[in-house]
Amino acid sequence: MSIEELTIHRPAPNPLALEHSALFLDLDGTLAPIAARPQDVHPDPRRTDLLERLCAALEGRLAVVTGRTLADADRILEGRVTAVAAVHGLVRRDAAGALHQHSVHPRLHEAAEAFRAFAARDSGLIVEEKGLSVALHFRLARHCGEAARACARRISAETGLAVQDGDMVEELRTPGPTKADSVEAFMTEPPFKGAVPIFLGDDATDEDGFAAAQALGGFGVLVGAARPTGARCRLTDVAAALAWLRAAL
């Protein structure tokens, strides 16, 4: 095995022990396959049933931590998961159902207008407005990726919005809480407090979640192709992640 392979290789996680664990689960690329357009991800009764049974077995110690809006996460998860951190941590609904939301950046509308102007160059570019952030998807226009990244960085420098790199998406977000902050906040509250956090995610937006879980005595699990990561373990794809979760029940 080469030095590079040693750097990125991660073993599969041991079977999930539910008794003392707390699960933090990304959505796209982890619980649901990546779709060409955000709106193409739909509810799946089998996934909903799995999450409901896991949440019951964990006595509520399950949260979904996603870049999607809270409304969109609820749509996909059929409203069955109470604890959700949305928009990369800028919105958080705790296990008791209380909502914690950051204030919107005053120049976000300018970023949205600039992204819409950029997207006019190609029909495959999609602008997604999330209330506290705006995303420019280029999965259907990959040849525009470099220009999209440059556009996001220019707007960030002009407005003070934070750049959130993702899988075929550039996002400009209100500076504020992250996925890591969400994990830390959940872990101070019942029923998560005192458990071992395990964070499953697939891309760069999940790396701070992996780091938070490890700092709190748990670990991260990368879902997808091997790459340099802070996660301790890896599962090959969404199907493998769902199978690993299902095997614990």
Helix (H) or strand (E) holding 242: helix 238-247
In order of 83, 95, 100, 171, 237, the CA distances from 86 in angstroms are 10, 14, 10, 14, 22
Number of residues written out for the chain: 249
Confidence of residue 68 (pLDDT cuts 50, 70, 90): very high
- Calculate the average pLDDT of the chain: 95
Q: Based on the residue annotation, tell me whether 202 is a catalytic residue of this protein.
A: no
Q: Alpha-carbon torsion 120, 123, 125, 127, what sign?
A: positive
Please check the confidence at residue 7 and state whether its pLDDT lies above 80. Answer: no
Amino acid, res. 184: E
Q: pLDDT digit string (tens) for 82-108? A: 999 999 999 999 999 999 999 999 999
> Rounded to the nearest 10 degrees, what angle do helices 179-187 and 207-215 cross at?
30
Whether pTM exceeds 0.75: yes
pLDDT value of position 6: 45
Residue 133 tokens read as 């952030």
Q: Which of 26, 181, 202, 208 is catalytic?
A: 26
Distance, first Cα to last Cα, the chain: 35
> Predicted confidence band at 8 (pLDDT cuts at 50, 70, 90)?
confident
- Give me the domains of the chain, ranges plus CATH numbers: 3-102+176-247 (3.40.50.1000), 108-173 (3.30.70.1020)
When mean pLDDT is compared across 8-17, 43-52, 63-72, 232-241, the lowest value belongs to 8-17
Mean pLDDT of 155-177: 96
